[in-house]
Amino acid sequence: MSRKSLFDPLLDQNPVALQVLGVCSALAVTRELQPALVMALAVTCVLAYTNVAVSLLRRVMPRSIRLVLEVTLIASAVIVVDEILKAYSPETSRVLTVFVGLIVTNCIVLGRAEAFAMHNRVWPSLLDGIGNGLGYALVLILVAACRELLGAGSILGQVLITPPSNGSGLVPNRLLQQPASAFLLIAALIWGLRSWRTHLAEPPGGTAPWQRQERGR
């Protein structure tokens, strides 16, 4: 179970590509690779902390206010992450602006706390948080690398594609720097993943295998 908790979210239960969670931040911070990497690390840290904290407190948490307590735990972790970013990477913090704070409302974090950490011990919950963070990071890195390389001709600020002087060759497509391109790339990624791994596709009027597995936990 621990191995599945860590590795399944990369492909078979990817939170963005399969469960379509956390899409808003994935659309907003993937214009360049560096802020996408920072956002992915921040979400992974918050996920791991929240899952561990909820798992430790699950037996003493009053059910009537458990959602309030879970959001409070998430918010406390987000505040710490935001302050660390402001102190050690102010430029990246300015690029990410409000999106670090919006991790509090990220469906992946609260969803994993409710669906997994509330019903499992600490170690599996930690691995589940890290695994879902890595699955989220994988989508962000792929989309951000594509947008920055093909849209600006660079990766992490290093210019790799220069416009040709004679009018021939590869020219960066500025359309990929627009917000709509992230939506189209994520849609293409979801289509590609479900076409490649056909057992993940939802049958007409039915439930996909990954959905049945999630409900059975």
Instruction: Return d(Cα 193, Cα 45) in angstroms, integer.
Output: 26
Residue 213: the pLDDT is 52
Question: How many beta carbons lie within 10 A of that of residue 24, not counting itself?
Answer: 13
Residue 134: the pLDDT is 93
Residue 167: the pLDDT is 54
Task: From first to last of the 217 residues of the chain, give the pLDDT tens digit.
Answer: 567 878 888 888 888 888 788 888 788 888 889 989 999 999 999 999 999 999 999 999 888 899 999 999 999 999 999 999 989 888 888 888 788 888 887 888 998 999 899 999 999 999 999 999 999 999 999 999 998 888 888 888 788 877 666 555 567 788 888 888 888 898 898 888 888 877 766 665 555 554 555 544 4
Cα atoms in the 13 Å half-sphere on the side-chain side of 164: 6
CA end-to-end span of the chain, whole Å? 11
Read off the pTM: 0.83
Residue 210: the pLDDT is 46
